[in-house]
Structure 1
Amino acid sequence: MLAALTLSLVLGSSAIAADKTIVETAAGNEAFSTLVAAVKAADLVEVLSSEGPFTVFAPTDEAFAKLPEGTLENLLKPENKETLVKILTYHVVPGKVMAADVVKLDGKKVDTAAGVKATITVAGSTVMVDKAKVVKTDIECSNGVIHVIDSVILPAAE
């Protein structure tokens, strides 16, 4: 609970973010420093700064810290850029999907920018994207919306 409260204080009001792009909003929040570094390493800044709209399920630094030791460092290497792009774009859903719409998707598979479907499940007030819990919703940006998740989601092997 304390972590969620701290996260909401760090992320601040969504009204403030509405005039910034998804990338600018994430870059302005310490909780997303790892995500921003990964987006830069994957050369996705320009894409996620474009008109969109996009829905981004954004893992926090704590979410990235849950990955097995060495995983993030390995993904950030130039030779693993293609894999990093696939993982990051798996966190992006085309269109602006607000929380009120996400909760209507229980049991549905949604298209991601990676070309692989993610599964949305809803149990009471808990919304999951694959195995990641949505911990904050509706951070509005000029080109979409961010929903904060507590884990990095990985596309299933094809």
Structure 2
Amino acid sequence: MQFSYLVTLALASVVRGATLMEAIASQSTTLSTLNSLLAEQPALMQMLMGAKNITILAPSNDAFASFVQSPENKAAAADNATLMAVLEYHVLEGMHMSSDFTTKMEFFPTMLGASSNMTMGSMMMSNMSLSSVTGGQVVGGMKMGNMVEIMSGLKETSMVQTADLMFEGGVIHIIDSVLTIPKMPSVSAVDSQLTALAGALKATNLLMAVDMLKDVTIFAPSNAAFKAIGSATGSLTEQQLAGILEYHIINGTVGYSTLLSMGLANRTLPTLEGPDLRVQATGDKIFINGAQVQIADVLVSNGVMHVIDAVLNPANTTATANPTATTPAVMFQGAAAASNVPFTSGISATTTAPSATTQTAAAGLSVEQPAVGAIGAAALFGLVIAAL
């Protein structure tokens, strides 16, 4: 594996100084589909040809072939607006060589939803309807052994197959699957099997309000967390439940795990409800008040979502982390577990995504993730939860 990867790198360097079209054409056996799709988007192609200092994550022919196997994806790929958004999400600001990636997850702004101040040229295109993140929707990237892994929406991952194809405007990395554009929080919650959270948001009429926020960090209690306080949920008024949910949302700050573990560690952050949350980083763990982040960095259309192991209580802001504890901190005194997960009636997960099953130690650390293919574009661009 290591030998073949190094050979690939050596071959890739041959096209240094080529135009974008020449670089793509030099890889006709793997990038002919991308070449054809770009030909159908002349405005985007013109912008890319004139851009400087960019990185293109180029899905291979096999990646596109796998992507369009379902009728929904095939229809989505035939829609110009959808196709444009998909392609924009594969273009990164800045030139990132394979050697620049580290064993810690880092996050890179893409062209999708990017503001005009990005350094991709005056013809920057924008699709704000699919991204409410200042500076553009992001992808994650990290080194996995001798390979580079790219993480997109719902923690779907793609591996770089051929790295460092140079062209005059930047660099191309050929990847093995089409990236998944992050969904709105309400859809991501269902697809991540956080059905209690989705049901609670529905019960308080907060679904659309949360989806329409910009630059958010959502601390999403797992179904087990809601079940653990099930005896208390039945007596909550709609207003009380709404206040609890709003206490889990930071508006105006996108706190990816890298930021939580460093820049925001041991600091307090204001919530939509009003009272502050406290972020604590201890070793390879991140705590929010007394709740631990179990699954970090589920990218959503307007920011990021982290799955936590307890429901936070705005009336108990002094709960603190215990890194050695084997059970979550008590947030609701006297609450007992229910036999069923509350708020889930009539709501079911639409897919089993890595975001529902992939636990991380936290904080973008060197935690191995499974590489899986992209999910269907019909769900990827869904603007409503059918089950709701």
Quote the residue 2:307 is aligned against: 148
Aligned to 1:127: 286
Distance 1:130 1:51, change over 3 A: closer
Give % identity.
Answer: 27
Matches within 5 A, 1:89-100: 89-94=246-251, 95-100=253-258
Q: Which has the higher contact order (CA 8 A, sep 6+)?
A: 1
C-alpha change, 1:62 and 1:17, in structure 2 (3 Å) is farther
Q: Distance in 2 between matches of 1:138 and 1:128?
A: 14
Q: Which residue of 1 aligns with 2:217?
A: 55
Kindly indicate whether the alpha-carbon contact (under 8 Å) linking 1:139 and 1:146 is maintained by their aligned counterparts in 2: yes
The corresponding residue for 1:88 is 245
Write the distance in 2 (CA, Å) between the matches of 1:137 and 1:66: 21
CA shift for structure 1 position 153: 0.7
Match of 2:185 among 13, 18, 22: 22
2:156 counterpart residue number: 13
* Structure 2 unmatched ranges of 5 or more: 1-153, 158-178, 318-388
Runs of 4+ in 1 over 6 A off after TM superposition: none
Residue 122 of structure 1, CA deviation: 1.0
* 1:24-58 Cα shifts (integer Å, max 9, x gaps): 1112232x111111001111011111141211000
- SS of the residue aligned with 1:155? coil
- Structure with the higher helix share, 1 or 2: 1
Question: TM (normalized to structure 2)?
Answer: 0.35
Q: Work out whether residues 34 and 61 of structure 1, in 8 Å CA contact, stay in contact via their aligned partners in 2.
A: yes
Letter in 2 for 1:92: I
Q: Which runs of 5+ in 1 are unaligned?
A: 1-10
Partner deviation per Cα, 1:58-116 (whole Å, 9 max, x = no partner): 0010111111x4212223xxxx0111111000000113111111112222111111111
The alpha-carbon distance between structure 1 residues 85 and 17, as it changes in their structure 2 partners (threshold 3 A), is: farther
User: 2:163 matched to which residue of 1?
Assistant: none
The CA RMSD measured in Å over matched residues stands at 1.8
Give 1:65-80 correspondences, 5 Å limit.
Answer: 65-67=227-229, 69-75=230-236, 80=237
Would the alpha carbon gap of residues 61 and 51 (structure 1) be closer, same or farther in structure 2, given more than 3 Å must change? same
Residues 1:145 and 1:102: Cα distance change in structure 2 (over 3 Å): same
Change (3 A) 1:56 1:97: same
Whichever residue aligns with residue 232 of structure 2, its letter is: T
CA contact (8 A) 1:23 1:36 kept: yes
- The aligned runs of 1:108-119 (5 Å cut-off) are 108-119=267-278
For 1:139 and 1:147, how far apart are their aligned partners in 2? 6
Give secondary structure in 1 for the equivalent of 2:235: helix
**Number of aligned positions between the proteins:** 141
TM-score (normalised: structure 1): 0.82
Alignment partners' CA distance in 1, 2:213 and 2:241: 22
